A and B are shown apart, each in its own frame.
Chain A
Amino acid sequence: MKNASVVKINKKTLFLLIAPGLMIYAFVVIVPLFTALGYSLTDWSIGPNKRFIGLKNYVELLKDKVFWTSLKNNLIIVFANVLIQMGIAFFLTVLLSSRHTKMKGFHRTVIFLPVVLSAVVVGYIWQMMYSSDYGILNALLRAVGLENLIMPWLDSPKVVIYAVTVPLIWQYLGVPLIIFMSAVQGISKEIYEVCELDGVSGIQKARYITFPLIFDSIKVAIMLSISSNMLVFTHIYVLTGGGPGTSSMVLAQYAYNTSFVSMKLGYGSAISIGIFAISFVIVILFRKLTEVRKK
């Protein structure tokens, strides 16, 4: 493992370092999480009566088709983001660190701008882009003669989940980008200079130097991507509301619908705990995989 506990910090200091933040965190996140766990073991609707029913909600969850469809959709979104979004972000990082790139400051600023937009705006913009009559996407396809590729992007159950993933990749590209860029700042210029003298190409530099040296930051960025995409809600809600039917339904919206639309708070809590459990497993798996890789 990395730097082992070299710094001898006494108990009191350690306590002071960790406790304040941890207490607030426990109050806001950990306690409510356990409360939600408690709710999930009841048949709570919305009134004062909560009847304990044990694991019945979870048994039902295993049979719940909408839950598994939503999970599938979330996994598609997560994979697409991790592979495509991280990939593009890394590529852009390399480009933006290179001497030969012009207007770096401009690009860095502009590519991050979509991140500040609200999900509602992004939904509206992309809805327009996908519009069958006056959408830019179809207009472009027609212009290059690829009309046969035109389809009802947000109306076709088969395509909709992919159509909905694109805005997510587009909007949040700036986040891994700044994470990577700040990590790259930590790589000494000398390493690159030595390589250039040896005639190493750009691609090789990226693959053998940059990538390994910022791997820890890449891991954080991927963990962030997994967590935020397993919990994605507002974007999908605004673009399709989970439709048509439930073909673009995602877990967080399903939990929300169950608790706040159908007012089945017990079952809704079970769904939330289910989301938590599955996401946790995915992240642990990911960490195990990347640890092995390093060794």
Chain B
Amino acid sequence: MKKRFQKTALLLAATMTVSMVTAACGSSNNLTEAGKTNTTGAVKKDAADVNSGEKIEITFMNLWAEGNTENIAVSVRAAMEKFQQENPNITIKEESIGDQSAYYTKLKTLAASNSLPDVFVCKGSELSTFAKNDLAASLDDILNGDAEWKDGYIPSSFDDLSTDGKIYGVPYSMLSTHVIYYNKQILADVGYDTFPTTWDDFTAMLGKIKEKGITPIALGNKEQWVVESCILSALGDRFTGTDWFKGIMDQSGPKFTDPEFVQALTALQKLGTSGVFNSDMNSINNDQQKTLYFNGKAAMFMEGSWAVGAIMAGPKDIAANTEVAVLPAVNGGRGDAAATSGGSGSGFAVGIKNYDAKKDAIAAFLKAISGPEYAKAISELGEPAAYVVKDYDQSNVSELAVKYSEMAAGLTFTPIYDSFLDPAVISVMNSGLQELLIGAVTPEDLAQRIQDEFDKVY
């Protein structure tokens, strides 16, 4: 009996030892591999050239499902095809995961095992964490090495993708996360021919719409990022001004518990508790909030510039009646009223493991999928590019896209909170905002909660 047990235990121990040793070897192999490629990379660097004939494979991970027909996805793939044709020695191995949360789960698992792909799509805040942990490569040298390429980008487009003064990602579009899409017919019915420019006027209008039995603002905050990204980032700035947020990120004094930010939270709570949103605001998602708008049951909704495409694909009569606006000025606010939260949001980042060995190929690839030709292609489809495009064919651009870009041209872009703040802080903020909207937490308590998490992380 004893021997049997001993044998089993021994076997178990053996398996476990083997597994642990291989795991340890695995990770140390990663380190030595990186070391090796560094030396060979360094030696070959001068001689190597993108078209040297040496076969290079670049792994590319993105969240655009294969058959995706969205403008950016289509344009990136077209640019990728062209790049491979022009550079036959370079193959792009693409992995696409259409679901955003599944995409980031996999990406972060890869990051945790130091196996990030060569090129991958990444949001600002996640990229910042990768950068701080030496998992993503700083792109400064390849950008500075091709000044013409780098200078073609809208300068602020690198903001979301930079950490500690270094650039870690290349943007592929400029977006704003806060745009108010409203039905001008409904507004006209309650006496408003133009969108209100003061907060008091705005809330008065919302009240009048409510009296008519229409939901003033459709909100689908189930996934928790909508309120923070599409409303608070802009509303917060109205009260606090942009310097406050910069100060938060620099840790030079401002705190979430400052009165201005608390005022922003209070204003947001007032909207929530006064019935301006639909009652199931926390249990429907941002797709479903648009459905409310499309059914004529809501007068407006707030989402990013990406919603233009969705509206154009919706009911024709609603699309024809849709106008765009941003939140009005708030009483005594320090922020600019002609501003909205926006930036590049996400970009193409580079995993550090193979960066040195494949630098030139990666640089060329990045230029192809985010540079001048690509930008021209998406501009012609109505998507705002992060690269400055001078002439492009405007004939295919939808009316609403034109309205948006005209409005955007006159706006300053202020930081999107979840492009900069650590994901842990964002997590606390987002879930707390759900409670704020239904009056389950006070603005002061929420501000304190966010500040506490911030202090823990930074």
Contacts and interface: CB of A to CB of B under 8 A. Distances in A.
Interface of A: 11, 14-15, 18-19, 22-23, 26-27, 30-31, 34-35, 45-49, 127, 130-132, 152, 154-155, 157, 239-246, 257, 259-265
Contacts of B105: 260
Contact of A243 (B109, B112, B224, B424): B224
A11 B5 CA distance: 9
A11 B7 contact: yes
B183 interface: no
A10 to B, nearest CB: 9
A168 to B, nearest CB: 17
A92 to B, nearest CB: 31
Given A45-B133, A243-B282, A260 B431 contact: no
A263 B423 contact: yes
A47 B135 contact: yes
Interface string B313-332: 00000000000000000000
22 contacts: A11-B3, A23-B12, A23-B15, A26-B16, A31-B23, A47-B135, A130-B283, A152-B283, A154-B283, A157-B435, A241-B223, A243-B224, A243-B434, A244-B282, A244-B440, A246-B431, A257-B427, A260-B104, A261-B427, A262-B423, A263-B108, A264-B424
Interface in B86-133: 104-105, 108-109, 111-112, 114, 126, 129-130, 132-133
Contacts, number: 121
Nearest to A157: B440
A84 to B, nearest CB: 23
Nearest to B425: A262
B11 interface: yes
Contact of A15 (B4, B223, B437, B440): B4
A47 B136 CA distance: 10
SS class of chain B's interface: helix, strand, loop or mixed? Answer: helix
A71 B38 CA distance: 48
A152 B280 CA distance: 7
Interface string B1-15: 001100110011001
A48 B224 contact: no
A132 B108 contact: no
A236 to B, nearest CB: 12
B12 A26 contact: yes
Nearest to B135: A47
A264 B425 CA distance: 12
A260 to B, nearest CB: 5
Contacts of B422: 262
B19 interface: yes
B33 interface: no
Contact of B279 (A23, A48, A152, A264): A152
Contacts of A31: 15-16, 19-20, 23
A260 B135 CA distance: 15
Contacts of A245: 431-432, 434-435, 440-441
A264 B224 CA distance: 19
Contacts of A14: 4
Given A22-B8, A31-B15, A260-B104, 11 more contacts: A22-B11, A27-B15, A34-B16, A46-B129, A49-B133, A127-B284, A131-B284, A157-B440, A243-B434, A244-B440, A263-B126
A49 to B, nearest CB: 7
Contacts of A154: 280, 282-283
B58 interface: no
B140 interface: no
Contacts of A15: 4, 7-8, 11
Contacts of B427: 257, 261-262
Interface in B265-291: 279-284
B132 A19 contact: no
Contacts of B435: 157, 244-245
B222 interface: yes
Nearest to A9: B4
B438 interface: yes
Contacts of A11: 3-4, 7
In the complex, the 4 A-B pairs of residues with the closest C-beta atoms, listed nearest first = A47-B133, A262-B424, A245-B435, A154-B283
A64 to B, nearest CB: 12
B393 interface: no
A11 B132 CA distance: 54
Nearest to B108: A260
A130 B283 CA distance: 10
Nearest to B131: A47
B434 A244 contact: yes
A46 B440 contact: no
B3 A240 contact: no
A242 B15 CA distance: 38
B424 A263 contact: yes
B34 to A, nearest CB: 11
A265 B129 CA distance: 13
B24 to A, nearest CB: 10
B134 interface: yes
Given A245-B432, A263-B129, A30 B114 contact: no
